[in-house]
Amino acid sequence: MLFSITNPFVFTVFGASGDLAKLKIFPTLYELMLQNRFPKEFYIVGFSRTKLTQSAFRKIFKESVEKKFGKDVNTKVLNALIKHVYYFSGQYTQIEDFIAFRLFLEKTTKKRKIEHIAYFSVPPVVFKDIVRNLGETRRSKKDDIRLIIEKPFGEDKKSAEELYHFVSQYFTEKQVYLLDHYLGKTSVQSILHLRRSNRILSHMLHGSEIANIQITAFEDIGVGDRIGYFEQVGTVRDMIQSHLLQILALITMNIPNHLDAESVQREKHAVLSAIDCPCDSENIVLGQYKHYSDKKGVSKTTRTETFAAVRLFLDQEDWYKVPIYLRTGKKLHEKHTYVVVELKKFPFQPKHEEPNRLIIELQPDERIHITLVNLHEDVQQQQEITTTDSIACSIEGCLPDHGTLLLEVIKGERLHFLSFHEIISAWTVVDQITSLSQKNKLRLHRYEHGSMGPKAQHTLPKKDGFSWYDIH
């Protein structure tokens, strides 16, 4: 039985004229509608500065869905959805516009008090204005307003703390949903569920059994239109701060007895706050793809990294001296995100023998592999056995990343959202890396488009006698 929302709601997209709205949010709303998840009464409202009539906005909304689903689009469902779509043009900085917006919502919803979900699909510079104006123009503190704020939350530890304190002046922690869309991926969610439901995995994933962990997130595309944003942040802040550290936390955390947000966030935070990054040039490799600086809007002398590999540890007894390697980059040979856990070998096993591996592919393929080794005595031949199966959600009712997360907000749940403490701990690690980079203490290795990234990345696992395990 699929969960459907019964209460009416308003869903406002701030920055409705932007890329994220068109690429992800509108198509996701369509998918939820297609699955009959919505009640009879709901309002999807676009808010941005761009002057648009309601029908022009409805057209943009419709086209973004048609672009995503092509011939497969269900026109009847899309037309029914469009009737729930509204538009309001206003300045994020102007309180008058937010007062007018509240009146607009009251008129549209016929003054009914219904839950209001506000999605921040805007660049971070606009966050505070929207928070303040939404906070100051609500009728009462009891109004049910839920804010969805996409990562990045802040640009370092200090700014994240400042932003948190700013938001807390207007809203409680329970009203704020800190979103990393990786946590909406069913493959990423499977890490926790596989570990909770299978004792075989819980035994394997003890630090004392593990030789090393490798987390890879390769992208084959470059920065595209996000160059303005990317130039400010780079790969370490864009990919490692949230996506990769969240995967690391899910793989290594203690499994709580209760599957609720507080318990899971508490255990993830325990890992993130225990990260021990020997942050120096021996343990960090940064790269930049050739011709990155030829892009319009990029300085010829830019030092923004488009590739990063890091070697780190967890300051926890169970994980003593277990190296964890992270790597991620753009314009590489393939799009592929996966985790490799290499188990320790028995002391009597010869060096050349392959270790047992647990591999979880997260995207684009979603699969789990466990590799074993057998010996055929007669011919003295080793046989590697790999058991593989899909972990993709392929039954009716599966949703894309943002769909799972939007439903969760509407339900008032937050299992797959971040806690502020997790974000701060992640920034503590990332700040150490970015500060070294800003002081020019890290070499920037150039690499070719379509390659596997800078060769220097291999020095990290080599320090411990390991090598990156590449899946093809």
Ligand X SMILES: NC(=O)c1ccc[n+]([C@@H]2O[C@H](COP(=O)([O-])OP(=O)(O)OC[C@H]3O[C@@H](n4cnc5c(N)ncnc54)[C@H](OP(=O)(O)O)[C@@H]3O)[C@@H](O)[C@H]2O)c1
* Dist CA 181 CA 403 (whole Å): 10
Residue with CB nearest ligand X? 18
Could you tell me the two tokens for 62? 């419709």
Tell me which H or E stretch contains 13. strand 9-14
Query: Whole-number minimum distance, CB 137 to ligand X, in Å?
Result: 18
Between 31 and 267, name the residue whose CB sits nearer to ligand X. 31
Contact 41, 82 (CB under 8 A): no
Between 1 and 125, name the residue whose CB sits nearer to ligand X. 125
- 246: contact with ligand X by CB under 6 A: no
**Window contacting ligand X (CB under 6 A); options: 44-52, 57-65, 203-211, 445-453:** 44-52
List Cβ neighbours of 263 (8 Å cut-off, separation of 6 or more).
256, 257
Query: Whole-number minimum distance, CB 41 to ligand X, in Å?
Result: 27
**Window contacting ligand X (CB under 6 A); options: 100-108, 120-128, 334-342, 377-385:** 120-128
Q: Where are the beta strands (DSSP E) in 334-400?
A: 336-343, 357-363, 367-376, 381-390
* Dist CA 93 CA 339 (whole Å): 43
**Window contacting ligand X (CB under 6 A); options: 122-130, 136-144, 203-211, 293-301:** 122-130
- 64: contact with ligand X by CB under 6 A: no
Query: Whole-number minimum distance, CB 455 to ligand X, in Å?
Result: 30
Contact 14, 47 (CB under 8 A): yes
* Dist CA 410 CA 405 (whole Å): 9
- 207: contact with ligand X by CB under 6 A: no
- 221: contact with ligand X by CB under 6 A: no
Q: Which position among 20, 60, 253, 339 is part of the footprint of ligand X (CB under 6 A)?
A: 20
Q: Which position among 9, 11, 17, 457 is part of the footprint of ligand X (CB under 6 A)?
A: 17
List Cβ neighbours of 438 (8 Å cut-off, separation of 6 or more).
none
Q: Which position among 34, 73, 126, 456 is part of the footprint of ligand X (CB under 6 A)?
A: 126
Query: Whole-number minimum distance, CB 401 to ligand X, in Å?
Result: 10
**Window contacting ligand X (CB under 6 A); options: 123-131, 269-277, 389-397, 404-412:** 123-131
The alpha carbon dihedral of 16, 22, 25, 31 has a sign of positive
Between 24 and 157, name the residue whose CB sits nearer to ligand X. 24
Question: Helix-strand-coil percent breakdown of the chain, rounded to 5?
Answer: 40, 25, 35
- 121: contact with ligand X by CB under 6 A: yes
Query: Whole-number minimum distance, CB 59 to ligand X, in Å?
Result: 15
Q: Which position among 150, 366, 408, 422 is part of the footprint of ligand X (CB under 6 A)?
A: 150
The alpha carbon dihedral of 88, 94, 97, 99 has a sign of positive
**Window contacting ligand X (CB under 6 A); options: 116-124, 243-251, 271-279, 321-329:** 116-124
- 219: contact with ligand X by CB under 6 A: no
Which DSSP string do the residues of 144-171 spell out, in sequence order?
Answer: -EEEEEESP-SSSHHHHHHHHHHHHTTS
Nearest Cα to Cα of residue 360 among 242, 471, 245, 208 = 471
**Window contacting ligand X (CB under 6 A); options: 20-28, 55-63, 360-368, 452-460:** 20-28
Contact 263, 304 (CB under 8 A): no
Between 27 and 124, name the residue whose CB sits nearer to ligand X. 124
Between 49 and 128, name the residue whose CB sits nearer to ligand X. 49
Query: Whole-number minimum distance, CB 127 to ligand X, in Å?
Result: 8
Query: Whole-number minimum distance, CB 179 to ligand X, in Å?
Result: 9
- 125: contact with ligand X by CB under 6 A: yes
Pairing of strands 336-343, 307-314: unpaired
* Dist CA 204 CA 370 (whole Å): 11
Return the half-sphere exposure (C-beta side, CA atoms, 13 A cut-off) of residue 118.
Answer: 26
Q: Which position among 48, 242, 288, 437 is part of the footprint of ligand X (CB under 6 A)?
A: 48
* Dist CA 140 CA 128 (whole Å): 20
Pairing of strands 284-289, 115-120: unpaired
**Window contacting ligand X (CB under 6 A); options: 15-23, 298-306, 336-344, 370-378:** 15-23
Query: Whole-number minimum distance, CB 423 to ligand X, in Å?
Result: 14
- 222: contact with ligand X by CB under 6 A: no
Between 20 and 324, name the residue whose CB sits nearer to ligand X. 20
Interacting residues toward ligand X by CB under 6 A: 15, 17-21, 23, 48-50, 92, 121-126, 150, 229
